[in-house]
Homo-oligomer: A and B are copies of this chain.
Amino acid sequence: MSDTETTTAPKIPRDRADDYTKDQSAVRRAFVAEQTGTKLEHAGHYSFDPGILRGNVENFTGVAQVPIGIAGPLRINGEHARGDFYVPLATTEGTLVASYNRGMRLLTECGGVKTTVVQHSMQRSPVFICEDALAARKLGAWIDQHFDDIKAAAEKTTRSGKLSNIGQYALGPLRYLRMNYTTGDAAGQNMTGKATLAACEWIVANYPGELQYLLSGNIDTDKKYSQINQLLTRGKRVVAEAVIKREVFQRLMGVDTVELFHHRQISMAGAFMVGSANNGAHAANGLTAIFIATGQDVANVAESHAGITYTQLLPNNDYYWSITLTSLIAGTYGGGTGLATQRECLEMLGCYGSGKADKFAEICAAVVLAGETSLTGAILHGDWVSSHDRLGRNRP
């Protein structure tokens, strides 16, 4: 194809009057059929008025029908989530629901999971470009001194977002800011974007000197795992913890907790050696399934799956197991949470709408812990390792 040749493939049809109708989605399915030869029959099968999709999708053409399995009951003894929960998991991966279900049974038989949201921090990270490092340092000091004004400017743009603090990262003539907010029941990426723009504009308007900035310095790091978020939290930092009784783990998983702890040393060393985002097993599996079911921004799995497992073998050989999700990004308001099936799934958890975000985060963490226990048990048990070579404690 020559440089000057342009495509002759037609543009996707849009209805400028009202693009969110059943008819218009059918027009686009017909367009797909004509262009690609594929009839989107199943994708055309949905149960809601497309009018609800404004603000959620463009060029609406149909739906993905993702099967939901339910798992539970899962007993949670959290600050916000308390009781026995049945959890909707949207997935196409066989055994996922069964495995989480098994872990939920284990945890519930052991008395349940304790859950705690320990930190809230959603951020945007602009960067100011200064003449040199000294000018950047002076700007940084000025920003510290004017935090209250900057906070006021930022918060004018939002009802629920609150600017907690501004981290500063010096690099040559650049000053990266990490503006950390609490965001109520929304995940908050949008509101923090608007608030940060207002904050930057206030800084530019009031700083005694000319300033240049870029609204994203690529350190927030939106939709990307990063060490900074593992450390400093993005969204919610949530802990799920439980004491696994030796007898129950032996009975349900077929593995002794003493053996479990022995092998934990090996998997931790491995995770450290290879620079893993999570020294646990597979947090992403459960999170993704609950995110799809409940209308979360599923791309945030990139960040949300990060975490740190910390365990101890107790003197009575019961097993203390915790996982800390360091960047759980989830909301119960806005985004896709109000769509048809998504809202139903939030409602069955008692998590739809305002005032529910921490409860939902706690449930997510508890689900993750259930999955950790189940997969780890399976790896150590004969399903994954032949019985005649079961690992013993007689090796280092």
Cβ-neighbour of A217 out of B267, B305, B345 (below 8 A)? B267
Interface set, chain A 3-37, CB cutoff 8 A to B: 3, 5-7, 9-12, 28, 32, 35-36
CB-based contact A67/B339 at 8 Å: yes
Which of the listed residues A11, A276, A305, A315 has the most CB atoms from chain B within 10 Å of its own CB?
A: A276
B272 adjacent to A279 (CB under 8 Å): yes
Report how far A292 CA is from B302 CA in the complex, Å. 14
CB contact between A48 and one of B36, B65, B204, B298 (< 8 Å): that residue: B65
Q: Is the CB of A127 within 8 A of B270?
A: yes
| Cβ–Cβ contact A223 & B58, under 8 A | no
Whether B40 and A269, one on each chain, are in contact in the complex, defined by CB atoms closer than 8 angstroms, is no
A170 within 8 A of B: yes
Within 8 Å CB of A111, what residues of B? 1-3, 5
Quick check: is A157 within 8 A (CB to CB) of the other chain? Answer: no
Q: Considering the chains assembled together, what is the distance between the CA atoms of A1 and B228 in angstroms?
A: 38
From B56, B125, B170, B315, A94 is in contact (CB under 8 Å) with B56
Residue pair A271, B47 in contact (C-beta under 8 Å): no
List chain B residues, Cβ under 8 A from A266. 127, 129, 174, 214, 217-218, 310
Given contacts A86-B32, A284-B302, contact A61 B65 (CB under 8 A): no
A46 on the B face (CB < 8 A)? yes
Q: Which chain B residues border A140 with CB–CB below 8 Å?
A: 118
Cα–Cα, bound, A68→B9 (Å): 20
A239 touches B133 (CB 8 A): yes
A159 at interface by CB-CB < 8 Å = no
- With CB as the reference atom, state the residue of chain B lying closest to A300: B284
- Which chain A residues numbered 258 to 317 have a C-beta less than 8 Å away from chain B? 262-263, 265-279, 281-285, 287-289, 292-293, 295, 297-302, 305-306, 308, 310-312, 314-315
Report the count of interface residues on A (CB-CB < 8 A). Answer: 183
> Is A171 in contact with B310, judged by CB distance below 8 angstroms?
yes
User: Quick check: B98 and A58 within 8 Å, CB to CB?
Assistant: yes
With A171-B308, A171-B310 given, is the CB distance from A88 to B61 under 8 Å?
Answer: yes
How long is the Cα–Cα vector from A242 to B263 in the complex, in angstroms? Answer: 19
The answer to whether the Cβ of A185 comes within 8 Å of any Cβ in the partner chain is no
User: Which single member of B69, B130, B171, B274 contacts A324 (CB below 8 Å)?
Assistant: B171
Query: Is A152 part of the contact surface with B, judged by Cβ < 8 Å?
Result: no
| Chain B contacts for A314, CB-based, 8 A | 393, 396
Task: Kindly list chain B residues whose C-beta atoms are within 8 Å of the C-beta of A35.
Answer: 86
Among the interface residues A41, A204, A345, which one has the most CB atoms of the partner chain B within 10 A?
A345
Distance A41 CA – B236 CA, assembled complex (angstroms): 31
- With A56-B93, A393-B315 as known contacts, state yes or no: A272 contacts B270, CB within 8 Å: no
Expressed in whole angstroms, the Cα–Cα distance for A380 and B215 within the complex equals 8
Q: Looking at the assembled complex, report how far the CB atom of A97 sits from the nearest CB atom of chain B, in whole angstroms.
A: 4
Contact of A250 with B by CB under 8 A: no
Bound-state CA distance A43–B278 (Å) is: 32
Task: Flag A87-108 by CB within 8 Å of B: 1 or 0 each.
Answer: 0111111111110010000001
Contacts of A169 in B (CB 8 A): 231, 273-274
Greatest chain B CB density within 10 A among A59, A64, A66 is at: A64
Do A32 and B67 have beta carbons less than 8 Å apart? no
Taking a contact as CB atoms under 8 Å apart, the answer to whether A68 and B63 are in contact is yes
- B-side contacts of A380, CB under 8 Å: 214
Cβ-defined contact, A386 with B201, below 8 A? yes
13 contacts between A and B (CB under 8 A): A2-B111, A41-B47, A57-B68, A57-B69, A59-B70, A66-B66, A174-B310, A217-B266, A223-B284, A227-B276, A228-B275, A273-B308, A277-B277
